[in-house]
Amino acid sequence: MKADLRDLLPKLRETGFLIWDPLGLAEAWKGAEPIADEYDHSLIRAFSVAANGGDLRAVCAVLLEAEIRMGLAEGGPANRREIAARSILRTACQHGGE
């Protein structure tokens, strides 16, 4: 069954802002629609990797690459990245992939 992005986006954003949040925007995100899509591209890409059989390492790599693109030279905290990747993998599993 194909996952509908409209259904997935709220869950991915929750993961992005409440778990991963490499830019520290969680407080601003609560109720602030203008920044709601800040992490969408990276989260959707990570979900796509997970939904197409990517493992924890592959999803973490997508998130790390995004952190580096955001200007975090060493990337963000690895533990938050791994927890977020696990959440994205669970979401992909629950939604039957793309």
Rounded Cα gap, residues 78 and 22, in angstroms: 10
Give the Cα separation of 49 and 56 in Å (integer).
Answer: 10
Sketch the domain layout of the chain as residue ranges.
5-21+40-94
Which pLDDT band holds residue 98 (cuts at 50, 70, 90)? very low
DSSP, collapsed to helix, strand or coil, labels residue 37 as: coil
Indicate the pLDDT class of residue 3, thresholds 50, 70 and 90.
Answer: low
Q: In the block, which residue shows the tokens 């939904």? A: 51
pLDDT at 1 > cutoff 50: no
Asked if 95 contacts 8 with a C-beta cutoff of 8 angstroms, the reply is yes
Each residue's pLDDT tens digit, 22-68:
998 888 877 666 788 899 999 999 999 999 999 999 999 999 999 99
Q: What is the rounded CA–CA span in Å between residue 54 and residue 24?
A: 26
pTM for the predicted model, two decimal places:
0.87
